[in-house]
Amino acid sequence: MNLESAADALYGLDLEEFIPARTALVAQARAAKDRPLATAVGALKKPTRSAWLVNLLARGDADALAPLRTVGERLARAHQQADLAAMRGAGAERQRIVAALTRRAIEAGAERGYTATEAVRLEVHGTLDAAVADAEALDEVVRGRVTKARVYSGFGFSLGMTPQSPVAGEPAALGETDEPASEHEELLQTVQQAARQAAQQAMAEATDRLTRARAALAQAESSEQTGRDALDRASQEVADLRAELRKAEQAEEGARRSATAAADDVHDARTVVQQAEQALAEAARALS
């Protein structure tokens, strides 16, 4: 056993199996007198639910993740060349790919008996979206080593892309010629860069607000469902208590009728006793 094989084994398990399996591997490393390995294995973090779903996707079909790198490279190239049309096209492709992979990850979890909540689905989507632009996140996703949700909060790309040289016969992009740029061109480039950065920042903030709003909605829906469940239980308890109350009232009414009948019987018996005592007295007087 080494750290790589241990991690590969652990991150392929269901979540409830992770801790016991990690404990067993740590014990195995200690038994082999390999304390550094035992420490390293013990430091492997248990994935969150959304990370587990992404890892399932990677292990079930690693080839399906290849488009993440491809579209990331397209976006990096488009950003470096400030090609708005290419950015829009690659951005739309990015959304389609991430949405499709998110569905597949959710389905992989369903095959293992887990039904993902909306909040977990959003985390899976965010992690896959971050993998498009972040080389470290992409490596975790492809290797099936994700431990927590990733969030892409910027618009830079770190996939090692370099700007392509302009094709012969095509005009060079602004700032790419060997000739010094005129003051007008420099000003125009500065203005365009500032506008692009402002638009990118606005888009980042809007994306962040949307993510938070969706998470809040999922939390509110979960709270609403919890409230409805509690209301259903309380309503059932009230209905049961009302049924018991009706039974008690019926028993009380029966007992009242029985008590009334018994009181009538006592009255009649007393009358008979009184009549018998009077007859006895009259007989005694007659005898004397």
**136, part of any domain:** no
Q: Please check whether residue 67 lies inside any domain of the structure.
A: no
Q: Is residue 231 part of a domain?
A: yes
Question: What's the mean pLDDT when you consider all of the chain?
Answer: 80
Task: Tell me the pLDDT tens digit for each residue of 82-125.
Answer: 788 888 888 888 999 999 999 999 999 999 899 999 999 999 99
**pTM of the predicted model as reported, rounded to 2 decimal places:** 0.53
The amino acid present at 278, given as its one-letter code, is Q
Q: Residues with Cβ < 8 Å from 257, sequence gap 6 or more?
A: none
Domain assignment present for 262: yes
Tell whether 101 is covered by a domain: no
Show the tokens assigned to 115: 């039904």
End-to-end Cα separation, the chain, in angstroms? 123
**CA 17 to CA 243: how far, in whole Å?**
46
pLDDT for 215-237, tens place per residue? 777 777 767 777 766 776 776 77
Per-residue pLDDT of 9-22, as tens digits, reads 999 898 899 999 99
Q: Kindly report which listed range (46-50, 164-168, 273-277) carries the lowest average pLDDT score.
A: 164-168
**Total domains, the chain:** 2
- The beta strands (E) that lie in the chain are given as none
Q: Kindly report the CA angle at 279 between 277 and 280, in degrees rounded to 5?
A: 65
What is the secondary structure of 217-254 as a DSSP string?
Answer: HHHHHHHHHHHHHHHHHHHHHHHHHHHHHHHHHHHHHH
Residue 149 has pLDDT above 80, yes or no: yes
pLDDT reading at 170 higher than 60: no
Residue 207 has what pLDDT?
A: 63
In a domain, 78, yes or no: no
More confident residue, 135 or 221: 135
Place of tokens 């903030």: 205
Instruction: Give the model confidence (pLDDT) of 175-212 as tens digits.
Output: 344 444 455 666 666 666 666 666 666 666 666 567 67
Domain span holding position 278: 190-288
